[in-house]
Structure 1
């Protein structure tokens, strides 16, 4: 069983960090009142506004922010400002034992997937796959349902996803129960062959991505297939694949055809259509908790992520 972080309460302070690329500072500024409306105080990481090419500061600066927020007893949760690229560059230098000894809410997605996997495996901490401040919360299209998903940080309640939220399609029938893991498909693939390769045995794998054409999704899934990841899973929940239309439709399979190729004959439940990923609304989920994927009823039920 993974460690569940303590729930937030009004008056708590959350830390904001940028472990990947520089966030849009205008959007970040617009997002901060949302946290204040939740009754939270905000402490900004030292490198949030730093720029080092495509990175939000040097690796040492970004790592120092991550460590400082987990070590600071006044910080109850950590929310990432945005994604992009760069979190994987920190992984080998993270003090996972320190994080394990200071468990707290850690929230983000996209490039942050690498940190979810690493912290989950080596700190045994439940983390949260959810919208980020500059990338999502600070934008005009930020959805009311996305905002409500932050409520799961203030009390332990079960999440239930059904077709009342979005149309779902079962690619392979059955019911599976297991730990929910995963996130961004590109980042999951990038960890294969490293010590941070995701263990999916007996687990429900969540995948999502953005800006990948069908042939690119095909290549990513084929890598996971050859790494025997689909032989080990209990089930697969397919989230949102934004901007996945082929540039040359006459020379491409559709994304649905690609998914059918990999999953229609799988002997475990596979369901697609979850609004999890680079989408609005964005259904936020804890990673590392027990979940139940029912392809027959087309539902996903997830146990609470906080104590």
Structure 2
């Protein structure tokens, strides 16, 4: 079992980092009152506002921010300002031993998926797949339900997802229990062949993505299949695939056809339609905790992520 971070309390300080690309600073500023309303104090990472091409500062600067926030005894949780690209560039230099000794809430998604998987593997830490400050919280379309999902950081409670949240479709029936892992499909694929390759054996795999055409989703699922990631997986949770429309629809499968091709009647539970990913509302989930996917009842139950 992975280590669960301690729950947050009103008055706690959270650290904000930009682990990947430079965030939209105006949106970031608009997001800060949300954290203050939760009763949290804010400590900004040094490279949050740095710009280095498509990276928020150098790899060394972003890594130093990550380390500083985990090492700082005043900081009780870490929330990512945004994603983009670049977290994987320093994953092999993270001090996982230090992080293991200082378990804290770590929250983000998209490019942060690489860090979720790395911290799960090498620091045994439960982390959180949830909306980020500049990418989501600071935007006018940020949904009240997405905001409520931060409550799981303050009070351990089971999460229940059923069709009252969104319409779900069973691609393959059955029920499975397993550790919930995964996140952004592009980043899961990016770990294959590295020491950060995701172990899916006996796990419930979450996949989501944005801006990938059906043939690109097909290519990534094919690579996971060829890497034998579907052979011993317990179940699959298909999250939101935003902007997955083909540029030339008359020469393309739809996303649904791609998903059917890989997952229809797979012999393990597979359900699609979860509002997890680049969407509003965004249902936030802890990664590395036990979950139950019941494809016949169309429900996903996830144990708490904090203690």
Shorter chain as denominator, the TM-score bin is over 0.9
Distance 2:232 2:134 in 1: 36
2:241 is the counterpart of 1:204: no
2:84 counterpart residue number: 84
Q: What CA deviation, in whole Å up to 9, does each residue of 1:170-229 have, x standing for no partner? A: 000000000000000000000000000001100000000000000000000000000000
1:75 counterpart residue number: 75
TM-score if structure 2 supplies the norm length? 1.00
3-state SS, counterpart of residue 230 of structure 1: coil
2:258 is the counterpart of 1:251: no
Distance 2:31 2:108 in 1: 14
Distance 1:231 1:266 in 2: 10
Distance 1:2 1:293 in 2: 20
Unaligned segments of structure 1, at least 5 residues: none
Distance 1:29 1:120 in 2: 30
1:26 counterpart residue number: 26
Distance 1:13 1:45 in 2: 12
2:217 is the counterpart of 1:222: no
1:4 counterpart residue number: 4
Output the aligned Cα RMSD.
0.3
Deviation at 1:232, TM superposition (A): 1.5
2:263 counterpart residue number: 263
Deviation at 1:265, TM superposition (A): 3.1
Q: What CA deviation, in whole Å up to 9, does each residue of 1:75-98 have, x standing for no partner? A: 000000000000000100000000
Deviation at 1:21, TM superposition (A): 0.1
1:273 counterpart residue number: 273
Distance 1:261 1:153 in 2: 37
Deviation at 1:117, TM superposition (A): 0.2
1:186 counterpart residue number: 186
Q: What CA deviation, in whole Å up to 9, does each residue of 1:261-300 have, x standing for no partner? A: 0001311000000000000000000000000000000000
Distance 2:163 2:88 in 1: 34
Distance 1:97 1:264 in 2: 41
Distance 1:240 1:24 in 2: 23
1:159 counterpart residue number: 159
Which runs of structure 1 show a deviation greater than 4 angstroms over 4 or more consecutive aligned residues?
Answer: none
Q: What CA deviation, in whole Å up to 9, does each residue of 1:210-259 have, x standing for no partner? A: 00000000000000000000101000000000000001000000100000
Deviation at 1:147, TM superposition (A): 0.1
Aligned 8 A contact 2:173 2:265 in 1: no
Instruction: Compare 277-286 and 265-274 and name the one that shifted more.
Output: 265-274
TM-score if structure 1 supplies the norm length? 1.00
Distance 2:159 2:55 in 1: 34
Distance 1:273 1:135 in 2: 22
1:172 counterpart residue number: 172
Aligned 8 A contact 2:77 2:106 in 1: yes
3-state SS, counterpart of residue 151 of structure 1: helix
2:302 is the counterpart of 1:306: no
3-state SS, counterpart of residue 152 of structure 1: helix
3-state SS, counterpart of residue 69 of structure 1: helix
1:13 counterpart residue number: 13
Q: State how many pairs are aligned.
A: 307
